[in-house]
Structure 1
Amino acid sequence: MQLNEDERKETAQLASEMARALMRLQPADRTRIRRKLREADRASSSDLSAVFEQVIKPASHSFEMRGAGLGASVSVEDGRAALPVESGGSLSGDWARSELLGAGALAARLHVSTATVANWRAAGHVVAFRRDRRNFLYPTRQFHRGLPTPRMDEICACFPSQEDAWEWLVEPNVAMGGKPPIDWLQAGHAETVVRAAEGMLDYA
């Protein structure tokens, strides 16, 4: 369907409002919204607007209001650190849509030293979730042909945390034909993915 100029502006404004709201949501809320949007995939524009008004905005407002009287909150990093890890240093996380490995297990798989893995992390070339004060977990999906996927540092710089960056990278993206940005990145479309990530700065 072809949109006229006013309709394009209205669509862009709605997308901007939705993106700002979505960036403030809990993962469970985003999952619920994805389900609602799939249900409304073939719905009319008025039905899609209703999804925004009835689901996204209330969830965003609820997230902003959380915390009062609930005691001390726990950071994402501390929460991740509390997760049990198998003796081999591996944790399969559905939330990450990737196998997660500790530095030793990852180095062994890629046939590199743990120092190399640490250098990649220090340079920002890989996504690493803090497990505790000294150790990190690495999504294996970010490695392509035994090496870190290029330009991960530029992409991660566009998000408040590496968790947010990784979630964006592995979620299907309409602008990329419904494929996750990480797949486009590894297929050689780095410029497209980096520009899309930079666009997220407007909603941070």
Structure 2
Amino acid sequence: MVGSEARLHRARQARVADRVAAKVADALKADAAFESGSVALSASIAGAAAAAIVDLPVSVRRELSKRQGELARRIRGLVETFGDAAAGGKIALEIPKTVEPSAGEGLGKIVTVEEGARLLGELAVARRLEDWAGPVAGASELQRDFGIARSTLNRWQHAGEVIALLKGTRKHVYPIEQFIDGRPARGIATVAALVSNQRVAWLWLCQPNPMLGGRRPIDLLKQDRADEIIDAAQTYFATQ
């Protein structure tokens, strides 16, 4: 019974962390002072702090409120300590003083616009959304089959907590694999915050990933391994 309560507690904290991280990331994206990598890291730290605070007793929260200056100093000290450790662990590289010049292969054969369009048409293959995204459902189907209220789905979409793919010109559909027990898997919001394009985000989540040993990120999210997937997503997208 205790183990079950602990799992529920961790799951609740994880949901709080995801929601806060997504909202902080949205707020910081418009701030020119933050690079994309700084946005993701700042959002993740804010989410972790909120998750740690949300279930504290009232007396502890009051005491923390009185000591906010000290708390801020400790957080800065912790971050700076990590920065020092990262700098100390860098690998020294031997950089040659001269670099051999290279002309490269050049542009290759230049073709006309018409020929380029023809060649591109031969390479491009029309695919249905379901062929690469997997099973998807609209708001009505999700409410009917999974009990997800349309208002809840809209709230998740506006908060960036769910992947929504445009099908046609106006209708949004939702990959079914992202839902666990009637809500988006933990980590979906953070990955979506790192990638501005929802299609790219879902394509990354549902494709085998060599960085993860050929496993799909969405499968690992369903195993409650969100931290591992978020780290991998930051490696892929935070510097872009």
Indicate the TM-score class for this superposition, using the shorter chain for normalisation: 0.5 to 0.7
In the other structure, the counterpart of 1:3 is none
| Matched AA of 1:184 | L
Q: Select which of 132, 156, 163 maps to 1:120.
A: 156
More helix by share: 2
- Give the Cα–Cα distance (whole angstroms) in 1 for the partners of residues 199 and 222 of structure 2: 19
| Matched AA of 1:141 | E
In the other structure, the counterpart of 2:28 is none
Q: Give the SS at the match of 1:179.
A: coil
Q: Select which of 157, 160, 166 maps to 1:130.
A: 166
| Matched AA of 1:112 | I
Return 5+ residue gaps in structure 1 as ranges. 1-5, 10-57, 71-78, 84-90
Asked if 1:184 corresponds to 2:220, the answer is: yes
| Matched AA of 2:231 | R
Alpha-carbon RMSD across the aligned residues, in angstroms, is: 3.4
Q: CA offsets per residue over residues 143-199 of structure 1, 9 Å max, x none?
A: 112221112121012224111111111111123222100111110111110011011
Return 5+ residue gaps in structure 2 as ranges. 1-90, 94-104, 118-125
Asked if 1:95 corresponds to 2:120, the answer is: no
| Matched AA of 2:211 | A
State the percentage of identical aligned residues: 31
- Give the Cα–Cα distance (whole angstroms) in 1 for the partners of residues 169 and 238 of structure 2: 32
In the other structure, the counterpart of 1:162 is 198
- Give the Cα–Cα distance (whole angstroms) in 2 for the partners of residues 129 and 111 of structure 1: 20
Flag the structure with larger Rg: 2
Contact kept in structure 2, 1:125 and 1:150, CA below 8 Å:
no
TM-score for both structures, normalised by structure 2 = 0.45
Return the structure number with greater relative CO, CA threshold 8 A, min gap 6.
2
Moved over 3 A (4+): none
Q: Give the SS at the match of 2:230.
A: helix
In the other structure, the counterpart of 2:207 is 171
Contact kept in structure 2, 1:107 and 1:113, CA below 8 Å:
yes
Asked if 1:196 corresponds to 2:237, the answer is: no
- Give the Cα–Cα distance (whole angstroms) in 2 for the partners of residues 154 and 170 of structure 1: 15
| TM-superposed deviation, 1:118 | 1.2
| Matched AA of 1:123 | A
Q: Give the SS at the match of 2:132.
A: helix
- Give the Cα–Cα distance (whole angstroms) in 1 for the partners of residues 167 and 174 of structure 2: 10
| Matched AA of 1:116 | T
Contact kept in structure 2, 1:176 and 1:184, CA below 8 Å:
no
